[in-house]
Structure 1
Amino acid sequence: MPFDPTELRQIGRTKLKTNLLGLGTVQIGGWPRRLPEEDAVKVLDAAWDAGLRTFDTAPMYGMGMSEERLGRYLAYKPKESFVISTKVGRIVEDDPDNSEPTGDDEFWKGAPPRIYRFDFSYDGVMRSVEHSLERTGLDRFDMLLIHDADDHLDEALGGCYKALDKLRSEGTVSAIGAGMNQNPALARMAAEVDMDVFLLAGRYTLLDHSALTELFPICEKRGTTILIGGVYNSGVLNTPVEGASFDYVPLDENWRANVLDHGVRAPAEHETGEYWLKRAQALRAVCDRHNVPLSTAAIQFSAAHPIVSSIPVGAGRPERFEQNIAALEADIPDDLWAELKHEGLIADAAPVPAETETV
């Protein structure tokens, strides 16, 4: 059964609801290429014109440029008509030693001359939220997420969580949570504090659904729902060829070492570049036999789990976002899912669209 991208799904036990398909704004922040303002507006228009009102951003995206562009776009939209999430854990500030725009820098292309530092303290969170409100021009956010606290977990569970919990209790934010590329740290957070939602990147996809057993059971018990980031695993679930990106680095003989160096997550011993590439290619082979694009199966697989509230997908071109909409609305034969399970490419316990009641 196809999905309705505008379908509203509940965030945790809150009253907040988000569209099944949201717009992630990493590309609007200038990654992986420079994106002129007018092109960013075209992407935002594509989402808005399709009836989608859920947007995810962060101070880190373009050193504040993503928040600024999103804020300018939403300035004349009724606040009650959209849902926006941003993140805490990094303080982004002007760089006093750089008076020129950074241009084509190492990562964020065309970003303003700013620097960032990690800060998961109580005061740091309050300062980060204040800066984000200034950049977006908003008076509140719907969701606030602790961003990439992998190496700062104790501090995040202390001062950072206390600040978010206070903002939630005051009504300044409707839902709080965290966003990471790994399961164990989020599972610890779910067990120790009261989180409404997690943004999980790359760990509940057609290729890697380790969250099914590592994270989701405790989230279901605690009433925490999931936003799925990285639904295409950085690109390999679009085009599974040697050198394709997975966990933000190329799938080659150096993949495992590069993932560890980048601190994305700690892969298991058997997780080599060759292992993941062969698995992705096997997925594509099954999809090809059923005349279904691999990326279409990927986004529908993630959408089928009832714990998933929204899938924020980034886009640097309006037609790319329109492709995501079409992928969710496409008909996929039940036999495809049956064959993927028969081949051991997806877990028997993983819900698939054929088994899921959808709008």
Structure 2
Amino acid sequence: MTASSSSSPAAQPLPTREVRATGVRLSTLGFGGAVIGNLYRAVDDATARAAVDAAWDAGIRYFDTAPHYGVGLSERRLGEALSGRPRDEFVVSSKVGRLLRPRDVPLERDDDGFDVPGDLGRVRDYSRDGVLRSVEETLERTGLDRIDVVYVHDPDSDDELGQTVTEALPALVELRDQGVVGAVGAGMNFSGPLTRVLRETDADVVMLAGRYTLLEQGALDDVLPAAVEQGRAVVAVGVFNSGLLARQQVPDDAHWNYEQAPPHVLARARQLAAACAEHGTTLPAAAVAFALAHPAVVDVTLGMRTPEQVARNAALLGEEPADGWQPLWDDLAGRGLLGRG
């Protein structure tokens, strides 16, 4: 197996930022592995492999996955695609909290958003033993010698969050202190619970989905100042708000928070796009740059299904206005387009 199927010369690695004082450094743009786990629709093995190769060639060195993504398919594909790369030159994160187990009654297809067979189900387990089993099984699926960053995945209920604070994260901290993993944290769509994680555990990093974007900045009220105060890191995902900010021309059928965007949200997104154009950039480029500009944010991770999507996302980093980003932020604030959302 060759290290890369790309015939184009690899770019220099992107700049990196360190997670706390762990020595783990993430490239400023990360590869989100949910889509190569067949999120919403299938992608074949060759295309998934080509997407990872293209990410490497674009300088991306941070790759995120999870057992949940395609009930292990994303982890297997990512591990295989990275197997020929120098291990110390890339960072992989995965997650705990969902163990993969055979269903008592197999389904024809998965019922949780992934186009994969339905023979395996997800068992939520935020216990210490569940965490240890999950890490071991991720290592087996990826074939990697270590997982550099481990997040507790979506502890959405009060009970799950409580167990995350008292069992799951302390177990991950033990693994970190033993040198088994490099950095630990939690990831979810809600900023308030992640603030509790930062204040009540020794987590290094949180993965914040959708709550700090060009459209809405509610995380400025809780998790982001907590991260700055305590010297912790934030990985920003969902910065396109379910695709609403992913294109310069905002379509009528755009989604926001995984649903059809209402008219007032569409109007706000189009105002943002118009302002970006006036400053010589695009809405998606500004969405990535805005998240990266916060002092706590070390990386923006985007889902990338094909080499073409990789190239398009990597190109966004080069769309900075001639006079820099700050005049655009100031203009948006003056127009009332930057606020808590």
Change beyond 3 A, Cα 1:101–1:132: farther
Q: 2:227 aligns with which of 219, 244, 255?
A: 219
Instruction: Confirm or deny: 8 A CA contact 2:285 2:320 kept in the other structure.
Output: no
1:325 partner letter: A
Establish whether residue 122 from structure 1 lines up as the match of residue 128 from structure 2: yes
Establish whether residue 344 from structure 1 lines up as the match of residue 336 from structure 2: yes
Tell me how far apart the structure 1 counterparts of residues 61 and 32 of structure 2 sit (CA, whole Å): 11
1:170 partner letter: Q
1:124 partner letter: G
Q: What's the counterpart of residue 3 of structure 2? A: none
SS in 1 for 2:234: strand
Q: What's the counterpart of residue 188 of structure 1? A: 196
Instruction: Confirm or deny: 8 A CA contact 1:235 1:246 kept in the other structure.
Output: yes
Establish whether residue 331 from structure 1 lines up as the match of residue 320 from structure 2: yes
Q: TM-score, normalised by structure 2?
A: 0.89
Tell me how far apart the structure 1 counterparts of residues 278 and 146 of structure 2 sit (CA, whole Å): 48
Q: 1:276 aligns with which of 262, 265, 279?
A: 265
Q: What's the counterpart of residue 291 of structure 2? A: 302
Identity %: 39
> Comparing 337-346 with 235-244, which one deviates more in the overlay?
235-244
Q: 2:260 aligns with which of 245, 250, 259?
A: 250
Tell me how far apart the structure 2 counterparts of residues 216 and 93 of structure 1 sit (CA, whole Å): 36
1:282 partner letter: Q
Establish whether residue 238 from structure 1 lines up as the match of residue 246 from structure 2: yes
Tell me how far apart the structure 2 counterparts of residues 111 and 71 of structure 1 sit (CA, whole Å): 20
Instruction: Confirm or deny: 8 A CA contact 2:228 2:295 kept in the other structure.
Output: no
What residue ranges of structure 1 are gaps of 5+ in the alignment?
252-272, 349-359
Q: What's the counterpart of residue 4 of structure 2? A: none
Tell me how far apart the structure 1 counterparts of residues 333 and 232 of structure 2 sit (CA, whole Å): 27
SS in 2 for 1:234: coil
Tell me how far apart the structure 2 counterparts of residues 90 and 205 of structure 1 sit (CA, whole Å): 27
Tell me how far apart the structure 1 counterparts of residues 13 and 144 of structure 2 sit (CA, whole Å): 25
Q: 2:54 aligns with which of 24, 28, 46?
A: 46
The residue correspondences of 1:54-203 to structure 2 (distance < 5 A) are 54-95=62-103, 97-98=105-106, 102=109, 107-111=113-117, 113-151=119-157, 152-203=160-211
Deviation digits for residues 36-56 of structure 1 (CA, Å, limit 9, x no counterpart)? 000001110111112221100
Instruction: Confirm or deny: 8 A CA contact 1:201 1:231 kept in the other structure.
Output: yes
Tell me how far apart the structure 1 counterparts of residues 237 and 255 of structure 2 sit (CA, whole Å): 15
Instruction: Confirm or deny: 8 A CA contact 1:5 1:21 kept in the other structure.
Output: no
Q: TM-score, normalised by structure 1?
A: 0.85
Tell me how far apart the structure 1 counterparts of residues 86 and 145 of structure 2 sit (CA, whole Å): 13
Instruction: Confirm or deny: 8 A CA contact 1:287 1:293 kept in the other structure.
Output: yes
Question: How many residue pairs are counted as aligned between the two chains?
Answer: 322
Tell me how far apart the structure 2 counterparts of residues 112 and 227 of structure 1 sit (CA, whole Å): 31
Instruction: Confirm or deny: 8 A CA contact 1:30 1:111 kept in the other structure.
Output: no
Tell me how far apart the structure 1 counterparts of residues 310 and 72 of structure 2 sit (CA, whole Å): 22
Deviation digits for residues 135-165 of structure 1 (CA, Å, limit 9, x no counterpart)? 0012221100010002111111111112111
